[in-house]
Structure 1
Amino acid sequence: MDTQTLFQQHITELQQGWNAALQNTQPGCDAILIHSGSSHNYFADDHAPPFKAWGHFLRWAPVDRPDQFVLLVPGHKPRLLALVPRDFWHDQSLETERWWADCLDITFMENLSELATHLPGVTTLVFLGENQKLAADLGIPAQQINPASLLSWLDYDRAVKTDYEIGRLRQANAHALLGHGAAEQTFRDGGDEYDIHHAYLAACQVLDQELPYSNIIALNEKAAILHYQNKRRYLNSAGKPPNNVLLIDAGCRAYGYCSDITRTWAAEDAHPVFHELLKRMQALQASLVDSVVPGVSFADLHRKAHLGVAQLLTDTSICYGNPGTLVDDGTSTLFFPHGLGHLLGLQVHDVGGRLANRSGDIAPPPEQWPGLRNTRTLDAGAVVTIEPGLYFIPALLEPARSTTAAKSINWTLVEELIPFGGIRIEDNVLTTDEGADNLTRNVA
């Protein structure tokens, strides 16, 4: 099916869903105005960080720019109110490709002051977006600015993707895998973190600011830092340590939709136990992917991941004891301290991960794992990341030496493995009635 047909179907589905949300949560209101967001300068500066439009706006129009608006009036074609200032400092041109532009009624504005002239009666208008002052200045009543009941409904529904959205997520995965291949080769060739990062960018033909998040390029012991933010560089080979392990967590965007992929690579002469852990982690991650089916609790999948990690720890003699006990007493969390994954879409950590229903009730994470981002029961059409990990993190392990967990840990082997950092394997997985569709592995 061609892109324009898919996008038109996507818009039709959005209209139906948003109309129902408006009628059920905001009786008496007859239109929604969605704001893409505003650009903000750094404190005491005249420069701004790169802008990313709000996800709920991008679902309607792939226009990743500040101060754009979509006006939804049930029974009418969605309307894009596009601010295109007359400006000689910056390029303000807006490409309106037919595949999406034909699905919207587009009105151009040179100044934000024109917005009011294109709106229906504001007393029955709902405003969604960050610029609440703008909404108030338009005369929109306070209770109709970002109403929680409407946002909860929309956030909950965003977990299930349309066919158009799934296609864009596939593209984002295929694109990112080009970079992952180049990164692995640069690691094998002895490149430093800076070299690997730029090999990724070059293979994907993207700029840093176009990435969905800052690449994590972690060599050796830095792989134990979950959101490692640096890119170490060596101007010459003097003092450069050998490349034993690379953990790369990096994605791409396709018209706003994100991929989030992690791979771990080890040199041939890395520690043999680390190699065994890597092989077993790849198998564990594949089995967890296969467990992604409609009706499964993501919290249950998370516990299953911990049991798998605990089994790896005991099978390789890093820990002693029963895997279930290692999970229940928190020992496995010392080695696997993050969640199994999260919802994925227009945001890397997409909204609605802890919503139990459209009404906004929260499905709390297990008390043992308060950081779990996704606690939902999966529906067909939901896209999640599956990313088990196993790390040797001194900041967690050193305090454990004085706890009851200490007796369960083979400290001699742990100390040997600390220089190798850790392992994470992450794929992006679509839940379907037929089972898991691994968007990362099935990119053809």
Structure 2
Amino acid sequence: MIDRLSSLYLHHLAVVRERADRALAATEHEHLVIAAGLPPRKFLDDQDYPFVASPHFRHWLPLTDAPGSWIVHTPGQRPRLVFLQPRDYWHVVPEAPRGYWVEHFDITVVRTVEEAVAQLPAPSSRPAVIAPTQPALAGVEPNNPQDVLDYLHWHRSYKTPYELAWMREASRIGARAHRAAEQAFRAGASELGIHQAYLAAAGVIDAELPYASIVALNQHGAVLHYTHFDRTAPDYHRSFLIDAGANATGYASDITRTYAGHGEDEFQSLVDSVEAAQLSFAAKVRAGQSYPELHIHAHHVLAGVLREHGFIRMDAESAVETGVTAAFFPHGLGHPIGLQVHDVAGFQRGERGGSIPRPAGHPYLRMTRNLEPGMVVTIEPGLYFIDMLLEELRGRPAGKDVDWNRVEAFKPYGGIRIEDDVVCTDAEPENLTRDAFAQL
């Protein structure tokens, strides 16, 4: 595994350096300076929030625990890592860099934030400094030039084989933890208990997850970002929606599954229909496919599911045009994923920036580009029974074509969402999530 990663990383670093060279040449900067960042301080406190290294920093090397460190890239020279290893007996000090990547960097170890800043190129040399503006650091001024960011973000959409290797690992960890969460649900655990089973199976703490897990029993599945974690198990486990991912060297997986409780045959039938639709959408992750058009197509297919299961009486075209499907499926089909769960450049028109607008009536879609080989996106359709949206629909003319008794009967289940991470290739899509579950 290490030998393979070493070979993949050598190619990855060459790609990253070439992209940086082109970004600097196009924008007349001499250096690219990237901060790992520092943990933000809690308001009126002497403690910090958990540290998360900048995605730009993690794009260059597999180093996630390096607060206060910097990467310096100058075209024609080996990249430099300024690594902060403080003298500190209050906290665990980051280990000295080691592994398959260190031979490709000139590494300088420093003991203080000030020493690290002193190692950076002078402002007069026109560096492009990609760093958070807070906390402020004397001697370095992040400028985050938009033209540089646009170029780097656009090309970060196309994952290298090295990146895909880590994303497969993130999917394997996530799938293993999802299986443990399902078992805890079947055993009657509370939402908190299910979440703890997930963490144990993934071998992480909350701060190491790529995003806050959604663990929703019964009607809680209707809250799209439900992160409450009831401590007491409900009397009856009717349904279970879990949206939770994992990290592998900074690369994320984002997985959602929905399960019916024992004997809940009608809800299981609806879950099966949504899953069949989801698989059909994932199969369309192919080069040239418009993501917004795939999203609109999903609305039409889900309208058919709603009609098949007796929730609506109108045809699919009418259900989409009148916004009926939006009441049951109010979010986007998915988003780019990689170093960030909602990865960059989902709306970008080209390497020089610009934006592709969302289709009218779909304000929560998170990607408007055409799919190309190397992109990784989530495919996550859903159907929900959300009181607020359903009440709005009931008051509109289209509401007369909804079977409200049927809707009321399904409200206690909350909702359904099924999500996979899918790679666009030159041929068949690669479903990272399904492949990971198949390996269990």
Letter of the structure 1 residue corresponding to residue 330 of structure 2: P
Match of 1:21 among 8, 20, 23: 23
Partner residue in 2 for 1:247: 241
CA distance in 2, matches of 1:113, 1:323: 62
Question: For 1:105 and 1:255, how far apart are their aligned partners in 2?
Answer: 21
Stretches of structure 1 lacking an aligned partner (at least 5 in a row)? none
| Deviation string, structure 1 residues 327-363 (Cα, Å, up to 9, x no partner) | 1110000000000000001111011111011111101
Tell me the equivalent position of 1:33.
33
- The whole-number CA distance in structure 2 between the counterparts of 1:397 and 1:231 is 25
The answer on whether the counterparts of 2:130 and 2:144 sit within 8 Å (CA) in structure 1 is: yes
CA distance in 1 between counterparts of 2:394 and 2:85 reads 60
Query: Whole-Å Cα distance in 2 between the matches of residues 97 and 205 of structure 1?
Result: 22
The answer as to whether partners of 1:37 and 1:131 remain within 8 angstroms in 2 is no
Q: Which residue of the partner structure matches residue 265 of structure 1?
A: 259
1:47 corresponds in structure 2 to 47
The residue aligned with 1:62 is 62
1:410 maps to 403
Counterpart check, 1:305 vs 2:307: no
Moved more, 216-225 or 64-73: 64-73
Is the 1:132–1:145 Cα contact (8 Å) retained in structure 2?
A: no
Decide whether aligned partners of structure 1 residues 220 and 134 sit closer, same or farther in structure 2, where only a CA change above 3 A counts: closer
- Among candidates 371, 385, 393, match of residue 378 of structure 2: 385
Maintained 8 Å contact 2:118/2:139: no
Q: CA deviation at 1:121?
A: 4.2
AA at the equivalent of 2:309: T
Counting only pairs closer than 5 Å after superposition, residues 121-200 of structure 1 correspond to structure 2 as: 121-123=122-124, 124-131=126-133, 137-138=139-140, 145-200=143-198
The one-letter amino acid paired with 2:275 is Q
1:93 offset after TM fit, Å? 2.8
1:302 CA drift (Å): 0.4
Counterpart of 1:436 in structure 2 is 429
Residue 113 of structure 2 is matched in structure 1 by 112
- Contact 2:177-2:197 at 8 Å conserved across structures: yes
1:122–1:155 Cα change, 3 Å: same
1:351-378, Cα deviation, whole Å (9 max, x unpaired):
1111011111101111210111111111
**Alignment-mate amino acid for residue 248 of structure 2:** A
Secondary structure at the aligned position of 1:441 is classed as helix
CA contact (8 A) 2:38 2:135 kept: no
Query: Do the aligned residues in 2 keep the contact of 1:40 with 1:48 (CA within 8 Å)?
Result: yes
**Equivalent residue of 2:72, what SS?**
strand
Task: Give the superposition deviation at 1:116.
Answer: 4.5
Alpha-carbon shift at residue 402 of structure 1 (Å):
1.3
> Offset of 1:97 from its aligned partner?
2.5
- Secondary structure of 1:318's match? coil
Does structure 2 conserve the Cα–Cα contact (< 8 Å) formed by 1:251 and 1:260?
yes
In the comparison of the two structures, how many residue pairs are matched?
433
Counterpart residue identity of residue 374, structure 2:
G
1:340–1:372 contact (8 Å) kept in structure 2: yes
Greater Cα shift, 114-123 or 29-38: 114-123
- Please report how far the alpha carbon of residue 133 of structure 1 lies from its aligned counterpart in structure 2 after TM superposition: 8.1
2:390 counterpart residue number:
397
Residues 34 and 71 in structure 1, CA contact (< 8 A), matched pair in contact too: yes
Contact 1:305 / 1:388 at 8 angstroms: preserved in 2?
yes
**2:229 maps to amino acid:** K
Q: 1:182-230 CA distances to partner (integer Å, 9 max, x unpaired)? A: 1111111111111111111111111111111111100000001110011
The one-letter amino acid of 2:353's match is G
Whether the aligned pair in 2 keeps the contact of 1:83 and 1:111 (CA below 8 Å) is: yes
Q: Which amino acid aligns with 1:32?
A: L
Q: CA RMSD in A?
A: 1.6
What displacement does 1:48 show? 1.6
The 3-state SS of whatever aligns with 2:40 is coil
Question: Could you tell me which residue of structure 1 aligns to residue 342 of structure 2?
Answer: 349
Question: Identical aligned pairs, as a percentage?
Answer: 39
